[in-house]
Chains A and B, each alone.
Chain A
Amino acid sequence: MAGTDTATTGRGTLTGQPERSGAGTGGRPDGQGRIARLAPTAILLLGAFYCLLPVAWVLVAASKDASTLFTSSTFAPGDALVDNVAGLSAYRDGLFWRWMLNTLLYAGVGAALSAAVSGLSGYTLAKFAFPGRSVVFNVLLAGVLVPGITLAVPQYLLLAKVGLTDTYWSVLLPSIVSPYGIYLARIYAAAAVPDSVVEAARVDGASEFGIFRRVALPMMVPGLITVFLLQFVAIWNNFLLPFIMLADDERFPVTLGLYTLLNQGNTQPALYRFVIAGSLLSIVPLVALFLSLQRYWRIDLLSGATKS
């Protein structure tokens, strides 16, 4: 993210102006000027505090054992973090890690396929004029309006007819089409791929798919990474689809797995300790992914501008 940050500062210094927090009114007392200067940072830090608090709580709670989790003061850390993670890892021969791998598979493969399909569709919708274009686009986009719950049961029944329920495919396939992703990809393609370049490639006699793959795709990469990330999170967070589709917990993603640890029915204790440790561990890969790909986070809903 360093690039954008320097750009921000750079923009300020380019003007050659001193900071103008008090400008316009002039002659403010120093104290007020300092407040005006510090207030924005304070507000941002307040927001950061609000957002980090529950995350901090997971970290603390994950360090407590089964008794102190409920009896000790909320933010007093315990010393059982290693025990909890070890206990969770040992639960049914490391089932938790299998759930993590499953999630990675669902979200990773699903998002990659989604980005590919969105990219191709977005490019087509942006760069070709053909009868029915706006109909296709609007119908695809209307998919955003349909609640996942509405879709899940009929999806299950239809997949059952072809014998695909309770397989990895049953979670992967419905996750590939993302109306939101196609919408974004279209905007990115329109903004990032100049018509002249496409035209020049055609004049050179390149095949249409060749043009997409070798000319347009590289230009759309930053945008498609955003689509990938969005869909990755969407699949990672989707609970209902795998809940309906999967019967065997060896194929569960981690959200569903943790849910089953919590809701084992009246006769089993809820494994809060494991669920909390698991929640913490399940957030880590997502955070790492975000941090490492942060400079691609450009969710521009309108212009598709990808400044660098």
Chain B
Amino acid sequence: MTRTLGAKILAVALGVSLVAACTSTSNDDPEEPTGPVELTFWSWAPNIEKLVDRWNTDNPETKVTLSKQAGGADIVTKLLTAAKAGNPPDLAQVEYQALPTLVSNDVLADIAEQAKPLKEKFSDGTWRQVTLGTDAVYAVPQDAAPMMLYYRADLFTQYGLTVPGTWEEFAQTARTLRGKTKKHFLTTFSANDPGWFAGLAQQAGANWWGIDGEFWKVTVNDAGTRKVADYWGGLVGEGVVDGKPMYTPEWNKALNDGSLLAWPSAVWAPGVLVGNAPATKGKWAMAPLPQWTAGENRTGNWGGSSTGVTAASKHKAAAVRFATWLNTDAAATTMLVRECAVYPAARDAQSGPALASPPDFFANQADFYPLAKQIADTAAGVTWGPNVNVTYETYQDAFGKAITGRTPFGAAVDAMQTATVDDMRKNGFTIAG
């Protein structure tokens, strides 16, 4: 910043920069400079600063500066705006489903050259999320988020319920519970959490986007998704499953007082429960998600994130080195687990020393992490599309309306498909069919 502040204000005022702002900057990859480099890193993981400090101590020639961010959704907004303005960070934590959006906006760099060998460290499902099924690699996976069923073991015993192994049994359990008490629901269907629904749909075989040569395939209302929507729509319509959103004060209360007995969630759930309902410690248990067909072993992912390197970064090689260390180094992943409560995507780390004993909140379930690793290996991989944000926004509006208006959930899934395709066509993406 050489110019004085006054000059800058004047520059803006005179609209000099107006012209400049209209032309987006796209600098070609510069030569990697030698000598000490400084990297900026955006992340929202709690305590991630401890890992950054550790890296900086061990690698004084590659100094990483952290900017803590609010969360996965906000970071995408800010990355897009910052990239548009030409000043994004070198590295950013990005949720898997946001990767195509960022790639399509030229925010993230293809790091295949350096990162390709990392493939074997991750499960196929996880790896597919960072490659979008192409030859490119757009990020290094950080955490995996396989879904599983959490339930109140004490209340299950109290009401004489058994842990459902299939969704059919799950529905029956919900009915049995409502027959015994009107104070509780087995669980709630949340119109506010598209990522949750996406994970459930993945388990049923849904694959909302695909790349076929030079075409996108968009099938948000495929048979698997429809099956899941109809199933939950039936339960909510029947009144045996609640229709209130999750992550509200009301939902928090329900976790605390046992109004909700079960929560289909992901591997990170203990962290949420310990924060939101600390008094229920030891009362919960974890089981695999109910299956669509008895004897199957499948699940989906709810969330999970990766570390991407931006296209505008002047030190891509150094940035990939940091991202690789952060997510695959044994010491780093141990810290990720212990300090940041992250369930690592790296398969070695999933059976690492930090995950040898169960989370405190599930102290009486000794096999928590071995079971979690088994489940993680069964998580279906998907390809995310370039406008997941549109699909997700439509999910919230359409399912919110379906619940308040008591209309079939199938129509909401169709609305998601229509909105997604319309948006892609409007922007000029080539779509098959």
Contact = CB atoms under 8 A, between A and B. Distances in A.
A272 B247 CA distance: 11
Interface in B223-278: 247, 249, 252-253, 255-257, 266, 268, 271-278
B356 interface: no
B294 interface: no
Nearest to A269: B275
B12 interface: yes
Interface in B121-174: 145
B252 A272 contact: yes
Interface of B: 1, 3, 5, 8-9, 11-12, 17-18, 20-21, 42, 44, 46, 67-74, 78, 81-82, 84-87, 89, 145, 193, 195-196, 247, 249, 252-253, 255-257, 266, 268, 271-279, 302-303
B275 A70 contact: no
A166 B12 CA distance: 16
Contact of A266 (B46, B82, B86, B193): B193
Contact of A247 (B72, B78, B196, B279): B78
B85 A268 contact: no
Contacts of A144: none
Contacts of A165: 82, 85, 87
A270 to B, nearest CB: 7
A169 B271 CA distance: 37
Interface of A: 66-67, 69-71, 153, 156-166, 169, 173, 243-244, 247-250, 259-260, 263-272
A105 to B, nearest CB: 16
Contacts of A265: 44, 71-73, 303
| Residue of A69, A249, A266 with highest tally of chain B CB at under 10 A | A266
B276 A270 contact: yes
Contacts of B274: 269
Given A249-B67, A268-B275, A156 B85 contact: yes
27 contacts: A66-B276, A66-B278, A67-B256, A70-B255, A158-B21, A160-B82, A161-B12, A161-B17, A161-B21, A161-B86, A162-B17, A163-B87, A165-B85, A166-B67, A169-B5, A248-B68, A250-B68, A263-B70, A263-B73, A264-B46, A265-B71, A266-B272, A266-B303, A267-B303, A269-B275, A270-B275, A272-B276
Contacts of A266: 193, 195-196, 247, 268, 272, 302-303
A267 B69 CA distance: 14
B424 to A, nearest CB: 23
Contacts of A163: 1, 8, 87
A266 B69 CA distance: 14
A163 B17 CA distance: 11
| Residue of B81, B271, B302 with highest tally of chain A CB at under 10 A | B81
Given A70-B257, A71-B257, A264-B44, A272 B272 contact: no
Given A157-B85, A158-B21, A162-B8, A71 B44 contact: no
A70 B253 contact: yes
Contact of B69 (A70, A71, A158, A247): A247
| Residue of A153, A159, A265 with highest tally of chain B CB at under 10 A | A265
A157 B69 contact: no
A102 to B, nearest CB: 14
A6 B219 CA distance: 74
A158 B85 CA distance: 8
Given A249-B67, A264-B44, 11 more contacts: A66-B279, A67-B277, A70-B253, A160-B21, A160-B82, A160-B87, A248-B67, A249-B70, A263-B70, A264-B70, A266-B196
B247 A270 contact: yes
A269 B73 contact: no
| Residue of A158, A162, A243 with highest tally of chain B CB at under 10 A | A162
Nearest to A267: B268
Given A156-B85, A161-B20, A169-B5, A269 B276 contact: yes
A270 B18 CA distance: 40
Contacts of B68: 248-250
Nearest to A155: B12
B152 to A, nearest CB: 15
Contacts of A159: 12
Given A162-B8, A268-B272, A153 B81 contact: yes
B21 A157 contact: yes
Contacts of B81: 153, 156-157, 244
Contacts of B275: 66, 268-271
Nearest to B302: A266
Contacts of B5: 169
Contacts of A271: 275
Rank and list the top 7 A-B pairs by shortest CB-CB distance, nearest first. A269-B275, A160-B85, A265-B71, A70-B253, A67-B279, A161-B17, A260-B70
A70 B256 contact: yes
Contact of B12 (A158, A243, A249, A267): A158
Contacts of B20: 161
A264 B69 CA distance: 9
A260 B71 contact: yes
Given A70-B257, A267-B268, A267-B272, A158 B72 contact: no
B48 to A, nearest CB: 11
Nearest to B257: A71
Contacts of A250: 68
Contacts of B84: 157
